Amino acid sequence: MNYIAHIHLAHLSSSSMLGNFLGDFVKGSSFEHLPDHIQSGVRLHRAVDSFTDAHPIIQNLRTAFPTDLRRMSGVIIDIYFDHLLCTHWQRFNSQALEAVLNAFYNEVADTNVPVEGRFVAVKQGLLNYRWLADYQHRDGCIRAYFQIEKRLNHKITFAEKANRFLLSHHDVFETAFLEFYPHVIEHSQNQTKA
């Protein structure tokens, strides 16, 4: 799952949206320096990622990728699923996407967490540009793929191929997303009840 899905699952599970977002930025198992509610969010993020990676729907979807894209299939799926979540938002949430994202941005602005590295720049970008809503449009996904290529110093190039593959297999991805997402909602809510 990618940013919007983690924020959404946190929102539905009454968990810290920022903590769930930070799951991609906090490395290793040593994050006791974070406030308890942020730690819980990081743990939920990791539980969701593990559940997603092991789920048969996702594993089957990954086998549909051509060999030259398979290495990046997890990234491609995660980001495209954010687009599909935005597309089908009202099916999964009675609150508007904009309202949930605004609540997230407020949490980011109001919470000072001791996380260094890439999150510092990402936080500024989130607050200055509020770019998460870009995932509503396919172009937002493609830009994200190119940004990842850039971060990898173009050692792996996949963005253009991913775009073509997604264009020709959109229905397959949409069907898989709509079947899978209710399972991950249930899993995340069960994690926060435990």
What is the band of 193 on the pLDDT scale with cuts at 50, 70, 90?
A: confident
Output 193 or 109, whichever has higher pLDDT: 109
- 177: domain range? 3-193
pTM surpassing 0.85? yes
Contact in structure between 79 and 145 (CB atoms under 8 Å)? yes
Read off the amino acid at residue 120: V
What percentage of the chain has pLDDT greater than the value 70? 99
List the one residue out of 45, 125, 134, 122 whose CA is nearest residue 97: 134
Average pLDDT over residues 109-124: 83
Q: Which two tokens stand for residue 108?
A: 């980011």
Residue 107 has pLDDT above 80, yes or no: yes
What total of structural domains would you count in the chain? 1
Read off the amino acid at residue 56: P
Least confident of 12-21, 24-33, 51-60: 24-33
Average pLDDT over residues 119-148: 92
Coil/strand/helix, residue 1: coil
Provide the pLDDT for residue 194: 63
